[in-house]
Amino acid sequence: MGGKPALTGILCIGCAPVGTKRRGGPGGLNKVCGVSPELQAIVGEPALPRTEIVKQLWAYIRKNNLQDPSNKRKIICDDALRIVFETDCTDMFKMNKLLAKHIIPLDPNKGSSQAKRLKTDVESTNESTESGTSPIIISEALAEFLGTGGREMLQTEAIKRVWEYIKGNQLEDPLNSMVILCDAKLRELLKCESISALGIHEMLARNHFFRKS
């Protein structure tokens, strides 16, 4: 339909001779995000860019004829979709909203626009560990938690593995995936019963990441 050419048109304005003003780029929605186990059953991958997740979801919807014939914007949920969206039918616009619950930022440091607002706070916490792209020393407790031999790794890798543990053990609060319910092992590491996604990063940065000296 007309949607894509419209965007292309806007793009062309953006690409005006004044200067190749290209925003967005490889990040943004193209950033790889974690996929909840429920959604994984549909898209078939544990981690995908948001755009790919939507694409795979639409492929699944078409393959299974889940569009309402009278209004193709409407999606009729089958069992798998019902588990994901928690509704019998939805539409293409609401779908994106519902999808958000099942898309988990692999790097919770920059997980949301809320995080963006808190960016300065968090970054000040990060001063001790820099940006996450250079190796850091992790605490003995975290090394034990991750089951790694060494204590040197990328900050992003450490965070990623903590999140893998959380997802693997389904520790996300079903009512709010931004809240993590700690099991015994995680409780020992973080010293709390539950914690927010942002809180985990802050906690790790404060108590478990150390700059290489």
Partner DNA sequence: CGACTGCTTTAAGTCCCACG
Partner DNA sequence: CGTGGGACTTAAAGCAGTCG
Residues that bind DNA (CB under 7 A): 1-7, 9-11, 13-14, 19, 21-25, 27-31, 50-51, 54-55, 58, 62, 67, 71-73, 92-94, 96-97, 100, 103, 105, 110-113, 115-116, 120
CB of 45 to DNA, least distance (A): 15
Long-range contacts of 198-201 (CB under 8 A, 24+ apart): 198/108, 198/111, 198/114, 198/115, 198/118, 198/122, 200/108, 200/159, 200/162, 201/108, 201/109, 201/122, 201/159
Q: With respect to DNA, which residue has the nearer C-beta, 8 or 170?
A: 8
Rounded to the nearest 10 degrees, what angle do helices 119-126 and 197-207 cross at?
A: 20
CB of 110 to DNA, least distance (A): 4
Asked if residue 32 lies in contact with residue 26, where contact means CB atoms within 8 angstroms, the answer is no
CB of 184 to DNA, least distance (A): 29
Q: With respect to DNA, which residue has the nearer C-beta, 92 or 141?
A: 92
Q: With respect to DNA, which residue has the nearer C-beta, 28 or 37?
A: 28
CB of 25 to DNA, least distance (A): 5
Residue 48 three-state SS: strand
